[in-house]
Structure formats: C-alpha cells, structure tokens
Chains A and B, each alone.
Chain A
Amino acid sequence: EVQLLESGGGRVQPGGSLRLSCAASGFTFRSYAMSWVRQAAGKGPEWVSGISGGGGTTYYADSVRGRFTISRDNSKDMVYVQMDSLRAEDTAIYYCAKGVESIRYYYGMDVWGQGTTVTVSS
C-alpha cells in the first residue's frame, strides 16, 4: 500500500524552528517528486515546497523562500522540510504529497499523508 506518514509537528514560538519528516512506503520513492503543502484552518491548501526525485532541484513558494529548506534521503525513503524563522502565519496542518512524476512536482500530487500540525504562537 502506498503511504506517507508525517511527523515533527508541534507548538513553537515565533522566530523558532521545526523540522518535519515524511516517511514514504509502497512505491519507488526516488522516482517521484515530493512536495509539502499546508492548510491553515478554514483555508484552502497552499503549496509550500517541492523537490525532484533525485533531490537536485528544489522549489519554494514566495511565502517561505529563504526560511524553509526541503530535502530528501532516497536511501531512507524520507523527505524533510526544515522551517526556520517561523511566523504566526505559518500555523497550519502540513501535508507531505507525492508527485505524479519524477521531475515536475507541479503536474499533480496523487498521494497525501494525514498531515502534522504546526502551531506558531507565543
């Protein structure tokens, strides 16, 4: 069964950092681009960051560029996002999502995890 399982969410103060992890199983991980998508309460899902299957190309939304860093470890079937300088507006459920192909994360995301909650508050 194809599965994604996120972890690492929690409460952090403004200006703090968190690292989210996503464990993949049931598919050839290195063959697919991966993304992180977040959804604030009552809002639609917002794409945050993407990474190609080989890990050589990364993409970021303007709202997080310079603060978030996406990475992957294909030997462990894991994808990560390091979130620094967190702001209140980063509060959301963060989903890990699998792309439909290896390079272009933006063509579509066909498998999603259950999400992990990040709360940025003092």
Chain B
Amino acid sequence: QSALTQPASVSGSPGQSITISCTGTSRDIGTYNIVSWYQQHPGGAPKLIIYEVTKRPSGISYRFSGSRSGNTASLTISGLQAEDAADYYCWSYSVSGTLVYGTGTKVTVL
C-alpha cells in the first residue's frame, strides 16, 4: 500500500504553474533527501523527471522542479503545457531500507 499522500488531482491552464505535494513521515521524506518523481502517460511506462529531491535527468525540461520541506516534498511544473497532462507519482527511500510510493496525482491541463 501507498505510504505517501498526494492530491488525487491538480489542474491548471496552459502557461500557469502548478505544484503537487507529497506528504510522508519522519521515516521517509522527513529523514532522507531521496525523493523521486515520475510522470506516466496512459499506456506508457513511468518516466523519471526528478531524483534526489531536486535533480533533473538529462533531457527533462527545466519547467519541472522539486523541493522538500519537513515531511513534504513538492513537484512544481511551470509554464504548463498540454503534454504535461499525465499521472505523477512520488517515491521516497524509507528507514526500512525500501522505497515507498505515493498515491498518485492526475494533472489536467484545462
């Protein structure tokens, strides 16, 4: 079962910025700077867009940025574009030595 809580949905108009939160506990996000974010379009495999809280893999747009404060991590998408419409998942390393994952957020571009 998911251990990290995300809003079920977030929406925005093209060009706007949106932020997706990912709330964990002191056993995961609150202790480790090991949070990653994945984007998934319908029928496709997950795609890494942020790792180690703030790092972007090669080829990922600067419009995606990550942060962490306390037990909550956040993903911000600036300059929202139609192709950003997808499901987004956060993952965090935990004290159990395993990865815990978020409930997922559906992003809609209005």
Per DSSP, chain B at the interface is: strand
Q: Are B98 and A107 in contact (CB under 8 A)?
A: no
* Interface residues in A, total, Cβ within 8 A: 21
Q: Which chain B residues have a beta carbon within 8 Å of chain A's beta carbons?
A: 2, 34, 36, 38, 40, 45-48, 51-52, 55, 57, 87, 89, 91, 93, 96-99, 101-104
A45 to B46, CA, bound (A): 8
Residues of A within 8 A of B46 (CB): 37, 39, 45, 95, 109, 112
Residues of B within 8 A of A110 (CB): 48, 51, 57
Select B98's contact among A45, A61, A112, A114, beta carbons within 8 Å.
Answer: A61
Residues of A within 8 A of B101 (CB): 44-47
Residues of A within 8 A of B52 (CB): 107-108
| 28 cross-chain CB contacts under 8 A | A37-B46, A44-B89, A44-B102, A44-B103, A44-B104, A45-B38, A45-B46, A47-B99, A47-B101, A59-B98, A62-B96, A95-B45, A95-B46, A100-B51, A106-B93, A106-B98, A107-B52, A108-B36, A108-B48, A108-B55, A108-B57, A109-B36, A110-B51, A110-B57, A112-B45, A112-B47, A113-B45, A114-B45
Most chain B C-beta atoms within 10 Å of own C-beta, residue among A45, A61, A95: A45
Select B51's contact among A59, A108, A115, beta carbons within 8 Å.
Answer: A108
Min Cβ gap A88→B in Å is 16
Residues of B within 8 A of A37 (CB): 46
Min Cβ gap A68→B in Å is 13
Q: Are A106 and B45 in contact (CB under 8 A)?
A: no
Min Cβ gap A12→B in Å is 23
